[in-house]
Amino acid sequence: MNGVITIFRRELGSYFATPVAYVFIVIFLIMSGALTFYLGHLYERGQADLNPFFQFHPWLYLFLVPAIAMRLWAEERKTGSIELLITLPISVGQAVVGKYLAAWLFIGIALALTFPLWLTVNYLGEPDNGVIFTAYLGSFLMAGGFLSIGACISATTRNQVIAFIITVVICFVFLLAGSPLVLNFFKIWIPQNIVDSLALLSFLTHYSSIARGVIDVRDLVYFVSLIGCWLYANALVVDMKKAD
């Protein structure tokens, strides 16, 4: 546990030691605001809720989370600091979890800084704050899902650009796993029943039910186990490729 906390603290500190944190937060806030007002028509709808805000999160995360995740391991490998990290008395698993949690909390901070929107709808009307809270939770979980994919992919390469692009593609597939776009692509060469279960992996399906304010245990289990699987793979990849 100590190892996890040590890595977690260093990582979180490093975000704020470089412009990464500020650039990310500012871009995240500007884009989420712009999408909410211009594409989501928050005002024009005349409803006091945050649906226009939350409905764009999957698309926002599709590009912004891989941008955070790409540096997690690729940078360590590029600069060689991974050699130092691995030779410290900290297990690979602890390092994987510590780094992941730091990045996740960082995204959480950016997400929490959207609170003025929440204040706005409360000022304008009487929204269901329970639904808003649940939607925030769902959004945070989904970001965690994207991040776990990105962390694992980041460990496979020394090149952050490659890590970014591959992560975006995989996240895109996961996001739209239930849609014809992805399903038709797989239908050609894998059996129908596997395609059907593929549809269950869709981020969008699981997210949209939480975003509507419905907490279903299955959705929680989905995100938590997805994150667990990718992080496990992450540790394996780090162990295999650390010296390449």
Binding test (CB under 8 A) with another protein, winner from 27, 86, 162, 236: 86
Report the residue number, 6 or 55, with the smaller CB distance to another protein: 6
Nearest distance from C-beta of residue 77 to another protein, angstroms: 11
d(CA 44, CA 50): 13
69 Cα distance to chain centroid = 8
Size of site (CB under 8 A) for another protein: 23
Binding test (CB under 8 A) with another protein, winner from 26, 30, 43, 83: 83
Report the residue number, 187 or 242, with the smaller CB distance to another protein: 242
Report the residue number, 9 or 212, with the smaller CB distance to another protein: 9
Binding test (CB under 8 A) with another protein, winner from 79, 122, 129, 184: 79
Burial class for 18, CB neighbours closer than 10 Å (0-12, 13-18, 19+): exposed
Binding flag, residue 23, another protein (CB under 8 A)? no
Report the residue number, 4 or 198, with the smaller CB distance to another protein: 4
Site string for another protein, 1-20 (x = CB under 8 A): -xx--xx-xx--xx--xx--
Structure-token pair, residue 217? 């245990």
d(CA 42, CA 52): 6
Long-range contacts, 165-169 (Cβ 8 Å, 24+): 167/65, 167/66, 167/69, 167/70, 168/62, 168/63, 168/66
Report the residue number, 2 or 193, with the smaller CB distance to another protein: 2
Binding flag, residue 187, another protein (CB under 8 A)? no
Binding flag, residue 243, another protein (CB under 8 A)? yes
Binding flag, residue 193, another protein (CB under 8 A)? no
182, 176 in Cβ contact below 8 A? yes
Structure-token pair, residue 129? 């704050």
Q: Which residues bind another protein (CB under 8 A)?
A: 2-3, 6-7, 9-10, 13-14, 17-18, 79-81, 83-84, 86-91, 242-243
